[in-house]
Amino acid sequence: MNAPLTLPAPAKLNRMLHIVGRRDDGYHLLQTLFQFIDLCDQLTLTPRSDGEIHLISEVSGVSHDDNLVVRAARLLQTHSGTPLGATLKIEKQLPMGGGLGGGSSNAATALVGLNHLWQLNLPLVELARLGLRLGADVPVFVHGHSAWAEGVGEQLTKVMLDTPWFVVIHPGISVSTPSVFQDPQLTRDSRPITMARALKGGAPEWRNDCEAVVKERYPPIAEAFHWLAQHAPSRLTGTGACLFATFETQQTAQATAQLAEQYWPTWVARGLNTSPLHAALGF
């Protein structure tokens, strides 16, 4: 009963992201392709019989009760009525505010992992619905498959994408998602496309509508783009700050990463169609 369970919380990339409108509540309507990469935080979950939720590792700048894993655990407790609690530990590798979805992924791993540990047997679709209350990106991490997403990112269709090697660069600053969405210059009227077109269109259709305002407002990001674009076509993930480029082989990705490392934190990661979280749980 008290055995700890260690599970991965992977990063995601938005291979493309178009903004096609805005809801009455201010949230933006997106069309995006989500893909996981094999770059992960690790969460260790240990069940407790006293019903308490304790996070025993610090995430810098985030208070205990605001941490998305604590919020996810409490939400699942209330929703299910379980008398059980958990001790939670996060080993962070993913940069915060990097557009890699680390916080959302941590929350999803807490929901899926505690559902398993507490033996609640809730279906993924129910966990995804709960997760949406914590962030627009949580559902895709709960479902654990590459996806075409519409709405605010919650209407998901499973897809298979190519799985290249990525060089991911963090330009050393974090970008606040709300500030990008509040920017008056943001492109909000891209013409909606069908999923089939997005998948068939490939690279030419694959742009990120946040890129122009992010480059304009954050010169270090524009600088990193300028550098990476000399090596391979580059794109922003989510609202940034990270950018990525695709490579056919690990060697070519590594060669570029070695050069980039002189200036910025850089990772080489493989694209995945199934989340390592699901692989770890044998889904």
Ligand X SMILES: Nc1ncnc2c1ncn2[C@@H]1O[C@H](COP(=O)(O)OP(=O)(O)O)[C@@H](O)[C@H]1O
Ligand Y SMILES: C[C@@](CO)(OP(=O)(O)O)[C@H](O)COP(=O)(O)OP(=O)(O)OC[C@H]1O[C@@H](n2ccc(N)nc2=O)[C@H](O)[C@@H]1O
Cβ 135 to ligand Y shortest distance, Å: 3
- Residue 96 is labelled as binding a ligand: yes
Q: Which two tokens stand for residue 38?
A: 């094999």
Q: Which two tokens stand for residue 163?
A: 């799985």
- Residue 98 is labelled as binding a ligand: yes
Q: Which option in ligand Y, ligand X, none does residue 96 bind, with CB closer than 5 to 8 A by kind?
A: ligand X
| Per-position x/- string for 10-49, each x denoting binding to ligand Y as judged by CB under 6 A, each - no binding | ----x-----------xxx-x-------------------
Does 106 sit near ligand X (CB under 6 A)?
yes
Q: Which option in ligand X, ligand Y, none does residue 178 bind, with CB closer than 5 to 8 A by kind?
A: ligand Y
With CB under 6 A as the contact rule, the residue among 97, 113, 153, 271 that binds ligand X is 97
Does 136 sit near ligand Y (CB under 6 A)?
yes
CA distance 273 to 140: 12
Cβ 34 to ligand X shortest distance, Å: 12
For ligand Y, the binding residues in 139-168 under the rule CB under 6 A are 152-153
Of 12, 41, 209, 215, catalytic = 12
With CB under 6 A as the contact rule, the residue among 31, 104, 256, 266 that binds ligand Y is 104
User: Is residue 12 annotated as a catalytic residue, yes or no?
Assistant: yes
CA distance 150 to 18: 10
Of 41, 137, 209, 215, catalytic = 137
CA distance 263 to 37: 22
Cβ neighbors of 144 (< 8 A, separation 6 or more) are: 36, 112, 124, 274, 275, 277, 278, 283
Pick from 97, 94, 92, 89: nearest CA to 39: 94
CA distance 111 to 198: 31
With vertex at residue 126, the alpha carbon angle to CA 125 and CA 127, rounded to the nearest 5 degrees, is 90
- Residue 131 is labelled as binding a ligand: no
- Residue 146 is labelled as binding a ligand: no
Does 99 sit near ligand Y (CB under 6 A)?
yes
With CB under 6 A as the contact rule, the residue among 61, 81, 123, 178 that binds ligand Y is 178
Within the chain, where are the H helices?
68-80, 102-117, 124-132, 138-143, 177-182, 195-201, 211-217, 219-228, 250-260, 276-281
Could you tell me if 175 and 99 are in contact, meaning their C-beta atoms sit under 8 angstroms apart?
yes
- As annotated, the binding site for ATP includes 95-105
> Which residues of the shown chain bind ligand X in the complex (CB under 6 A)?
59, 62, 66-69, 90, 96-104, 106, 177, 238
